[in-house]
Chain A
Amino acid sequence: MSLEFLAYCAFFLTVALTYAVIVLGLNVQWGQTGLFNVGVAGFVAVGAYVSALLTSPAVEGRFGGLDLPILVGWLGAFVAAGLLSALIGWMTIRLRADYLAISTFGIAVTVQLAVLNLEDVTGGPFGISLIPRPFGDLAGRSLAFSLANLALLVAVVFGLYLMLQHLAKSPWGRALRAIREDEMAAEALGKSPRRFRIEAFALGGAIMGLGGAAQAHFIGFIAPENYLPMLTFQVWAMLIVGGSGNNRGAILGALLVWALWAASSALVEALAPAGEQARAASLQTVIIGVALCAILLFRPQGLLPEPGGARRRLPFLRRWRGTPAATTGSDRT
């Protein structure tokens, strides 16, 4: 086994772990709280750009470039994405559930547009380069550099995992679960479902922002096309495959789907004729889209089911005597 291969493995794992951070954030929103975010890419982009602006060296004619330490950038990413999430949550969480989905979809479109158009801040279509990379002084020795970054990401993911596990068992996490299982009962116990949901949505969004920052710093370069709806789609596939509600499932899903994605991309590159690469890549997306639907249909719990096995019991549409219908007046007199 050559050193290059080892370095490549470390590189691959590091990228996968940056996705794991994002998936953990989505798991707080969806897995723990049942909030559907269709704009993951937008929150990741906010984190990436905020951190890049705080830490990259100054560039003439562009705002930002404050050259601050990486840690400050990551904190900024966490806070900025969290604030944006809190705002969206405040606006829509009191309304019907799919309004949140539509709003997050809208925010992702708008963020994409903003990073593309605000050239004076974001560099427009050219993006931002020279984002400082952790352990940048090791850059000459690729194996050491890769391993150091891998260690850093392992530490970040592990730390997040411990924090989220602890949080799930805390009174806050229990209240969140209670609200998800039975909103009326939780409300009767004096929990404000809306406040808890906004908090969970903000925390999840903040973690996504952190993931975006980690990714930006590891690659060293960001551009608007990194944050297309495809990213949202990949992150969702990771969570659904791994098992929503389960933090270990979220991490496993990130590794697995990223491996599948990378492998199938390599396959496309190797097999498709030069002129047909784009077409073959779209077929790859078709298959992943169909697979996502198939998992929702046939194994909605994913690879690792939610601990405790508590499935969602919201009887939105039911079937009996052949016709689907919403329940009305469930009084039992």
Chain B
Amino acid sequence: MTAAVSAASSAPLATRGLVAGYEPDLPIVKGIDFTLAPGEFVTVLGPNGAGKSTFVKAIAGLVPVHGGTLHLSGEEITDEPRHALVRKGLAFVPQTENIFATLTIRENLQVAAAILPKAERQQRINAMLAAYPDLASRPGAIAGGLSGGQRQMLATARALLVEPKVLILDEPSAGLSPKAVSEMFARLVEINRSGVPILLVEQNVRAALAIASRAVILVDGLLRHDAPAADLAADPDIGRLFLGAHADGAALAGEGTP
């Protein structure tokens, strides 16, 4: 326990006994201990309904926490209001509705940049536009008109704009074309190499295992397996055991659908 607490006190992100769900009497996440180490790329896997999304939404303050604690770089953030989390360095990209569709591309970035010191804002927005040429070509366009892949780009750019200490993404590949998925995953690897630890919820198991360094498997709200991604990818039993009896073959073959 003391080892766990001290690990939590230094790790970029840690949860201790996290219980969360929409209703207090109906927990979906039922007590998860998890630590994200510096520079790590961890993917969260598990069958449908295992609580993967709820787990990361609870960390981001979108689902009420009913028990346990959350730590960001050693600081406890369990009771922090949602809007304070990003100021502390936790950036979250939701699965759906992750951009402001009625605002322009530039305004989406400006809204996020508002937490930065005034002098840095424009420079950070320009840096993000430079990193995503698709967005830079028409920053005045209404974001609601973007394609799925472009929306995901904008959402990721918005999250990275504030130079977070931790990046969390909830199924960013859902609904994207295979080409857009591979582009986005390549970008995530790049971001991770630049030093940002990433926590990624994915349905697309094979692709996720290929880019992540570690994988955790959630089943029925509990963390049931924690292993290096490469080991998991090589283990034929894991799919059968944890990823659902009928879906596992397809999922491990990389055809997992949202």
B165-191 to A contact mask, C-beta < 8 Å, 1/0: 000000100000000000000000000
Q: Is the CB of B95 within 8 A of A329?
A: yes
Asked whether A323 lies within 8 Å of B97 as measured between CB atoms, the reply is no
Q: Give the CA-CA distance A258 to B94 in the complex, in Å.
A: 53
A315 surroundings in chain B (CB, below 8 A): 22
A316 cross-chain contacts in B, Cβ below 8 A = none
Chain B interface bracket (under 10, 10 to 19, 20 to 34, 35 or more):
20 to 34
Contacts of B50 in A (CB 8 A): 333
Binary contact track B44-66/A, C-beta < 8 Å → 1, others 0: 00001111111000000111110
A329 interface neighbour in B28, B83, B96, Cβ under 8 Å: B96
Q: Which of B65, B81, B97, B171 meets A333, CB within 8 Å?
A: B171
Tell me whether A333 and B64 are in contact (CB under 8 A).
no
* Residue from B64, B97, B171 in contact with A328 in the complex, judged by beta carbons closer than 8 Å: B97
Q: Is the CB of A321 within 8 A of B96?
A: no
Is A309 interfacial (CB 8 A cutoff)?
A: no
Q: What per-residue 1/0 map shows which CB atoms of A311-332 lie under 8 Å from chain B?
A: 0000100101111010111111
Instruction: Check B82 against A333 for contact (C-beta < 8 Å).
Output: no
**Nearest chain A CB to B201's CB is how many angstroms away?**
7
The residue from B61, B64, B81, B95 contacting A331, defined by CB atoms under 8 A apart: B95
Cβ-closest chain B residue relative to A319: B64
- Identity of the chain B residue whose Cβ is nearest the Cβ of A315 in the assembled complex: B22
A325 touches B95 (CB 8 A): no
Q: Report whether B201 and A333 are in contact in the complex, using a CB–CB cutoff of 8 Å.
A: yes
Could you pull out 9 A-B pairs where Cβ atoms are within 8 angstroms? A321-B65, A321-B80, A322-B81, A322-B82, A325-B82, A327-B22, A329-B96, A332-B49, A333-B48
Identify the A interface with B (CB < 8 A): 315, 318, 320-323, 325, 327-333
Given A333-B48, A333-B203, 9 other A-B contacts at CB below 8 A?
A320-B64, A321-B61, A321-B65, A321-B79, A322-B81, A323-B61, A328-B97, A329-B94, A333-B49
Closest 4 CB pairs of A and B: A320-B64, A322-B81, A329-B96, A333-B53
